[in-house]
Each structure stands twice: as C-alpha cells, then as structure tokens.
Structure 1
Amino acid sequence: MIGYWFMLAIGVITLLAGLRLYIRIDNVSRWPKAPGKISRREIVPKRIAAATDNPSRRWQLDVEYTYIVDGISYTGTRFQPYEQIYRLEEARREIEALPEAPPVSYDPQKPTEAYLFAGRRVWPWLAIGGGLVFTLLGLLMVLFGRG
C-alpha cells in the first residue's frame, strides 16, 4: 500500500512541476524583447553522476550577452528558464544557431532577469503527461488496489 501512495505522490509532484515549468515558459515567451549582442558562447562539460561508477559526460551552453532596456545596459548569462544538458553534437548545433544579435526576452518588472530562448514546450508537456499517468495509476491503486 505504501508503494501506491508513493506512486501517487510522484505523479502529483511531477504534474505540478510540469505545470510550473509550462507557466514559466509561457510567461517568458510573453516578455518584451530587446536587441542583444552575444559576447561569449561556449560549450562546457556538465558531469552527471550515473548509476555506475563511470559518470557520463554531457554538455551545457555557456553564453553571455548584453542588452539595453530603457537606456540601461544589462549583461545576461541565461539561455533559457531551465537547465538543459546536451550531447556534444546537439550543443554544437544550438550554439552555432545563435545569431550575433539575438532578441533577449527580459522581465519588465526586473530587467536583470533575461533569457535568449523561452524554452521548448515539449518538456513541460512530457512532465504533465507523465505526472497525470502516475497520478491516475496511483489513485486507482490506492482506491482499488489490494495490499
């Protein structure tokens, strides 16, 4: 029976995290944009602890850009609202696709918070879908399970 409650809890947590990420991406996509200028773009290693003793290597984008809001110059380093790791080929494609002068989405209430990219909507939908499945299964098991 504890396993059923655990599945239900994991489902609810995943569902809420997916909804939160969806709302965040949606908000960022509605922010005003300012012209930006890339000052640094690199691919840096991100070590991930694996289930084995051999940690796998993935990559992250390390960007720095400047943008001007209401006559004030700001420097940003965030690519998107969530951390994403890449295989090396994917990271190269992303970094090479960045224009020299990309539009920068910035929070109108706090212009120091800015992103080059609002984020892919597929990630929150995957979390929402997975969360719904686990929530429904967990709920059904709690209500009708034998244990």
Structure 2
Amino acid sequence: METQPRSLIAVYREALASRHYARRTIETYERWLRRFLRFHQMRHPRQMGSQEINAFLTHLAVNEQVSASTQNQALAALLFLYKRLLEIDPGDLDGVVRARRPKRLPVVLSVMEVRAVLQQLEGPSALVCGCCMAVAYG
C-alpha cells in the first residue's frame, strides 16, 4: 500500500511544532509560506533561492507597505524553511528593500512645561502630582 507524500506545508508545520514553536507562530509562519508560494506561482522552494526571497520581501515593503517588523517576521518564516527544513543556504539577502522603521522620538517635557501642566491641575490630582514632584525633585 503506497502512502501519499506529505505536503510541504504539513512537513513545515510539523518541523515548527517539533521545535516547540508556539501555535500562533506556527500559524503565522505557515501563512507567510503560503503567501511566498502564491507570489511565485506555486513553485517549489527548492527551485528558488535568494532572488525569489528578495523579490517577495521587497514586494512586501514597496507594494504592500508592511512595517519593518512584519517584513522581519516573513523573513524569519522563510529562513526557517530554507535553513532548518530544506537545509539549503538561501544565499545573499542583502538586496532586499527594507521596510521603513518609524521614527520614535522620546517625548520629554521641560521643567517649565511640567510646571505649566501642574498649575492646571486641581483637587486630588494636584495633590498627588505635587507630592510626586516633591519626592522626585526634593
């Protein structure tokens, strides 16, 4: 009796589970693999390499405008596929257009601005904030 060959997706899912990846991570990585395969017209990953990975990740950044963390998640899913499951070096991934990281500037109030805010407070809020300021700044 012949057994059906298991699908790449099933083998991928089992490999993630056997390495104790979280259920949600397995689901997410599987979705990235499916998107990667559809993007390249269902070609087998063994027939593809760094050019196809770069094209997919660049597409995510440029056309779909995903965040940097989302693009990194897709990359991690594909690296797991190539390095751990297929045991293939995916090659040079330097040509990827990286998604932009948002600029996060810390918001810091000057002493004068803090005083201006505190002067607007009344009642218990003013008392609590005044006490905190006294403790913090002596």
Question: What TM-score results when the alignment is normalised by the length of structure 1?
Answer: 0.21
Bigger share in helix: 2
User: Which one has the largest radius of gyration?
Assistant: 2
Tell me: higher relative CO, structure 1 or 2? Use CA pairs within 8 A at least 6 residues apart.
Answer: 1
Question: What TM-score results when the alignment is normalised by the length of structure 2?
Answer: 0.22
